Amino acid sequence: MKKTTVISEIDELLDMYCEGCLVKKHLTEERGKTEAHKFCIRECTVGDQLRFLGSEMNKLMK
């Protein structure tokens, strides 16, 4: 996998699912930005995919 491909996939995921996410918006209003971010990282399936792509990017940077 190429670095540009990984970046492109990350951008697509963020644009398609994260931009305007109602769950994140609700959690931000109810619990604050930090708790919403924690949800996105730990529990959201899109966050899981972003973590995977981030690890792939780290492999390419070595």
Helix (H, G, I), strand (E, B) or coil at 62: coil
Give the amino acid at 59. K
Q: Which pLDDT score, from 0 to 100, does residue 8 have?
A: 97
Query: Mean pLDDT throughout 43-58?
Result: 95
Return the exposure string of 10-42: e unless at least 16 CB atoms fall within 10 Å of the residue's CB, then b. Answer: beebeeebeeebeebeebbeeeeeeebeebbee
Average pLDDT over residues 46-62: 93
Q: pTM to 2 decimals?
A: 0.82
Q: How confident is the model at residue 1 (pLDDT cuts 50, 70, 90)?
A: confident
List Cβ neighbours of 57 (8 Å cut-off, separation of 6 or more).
3, 6, 7, 10
- Residue span of the structural domain in which 38 resides: 3-61
- Domains in the chain, number: 1
Match 């959690």 to its residue by tokens.
Answer: 27
* Confidence band of 62 (pLDDT split at 50, 70, 90): confident
| Mean pLDDT, residues 29-54 | 96
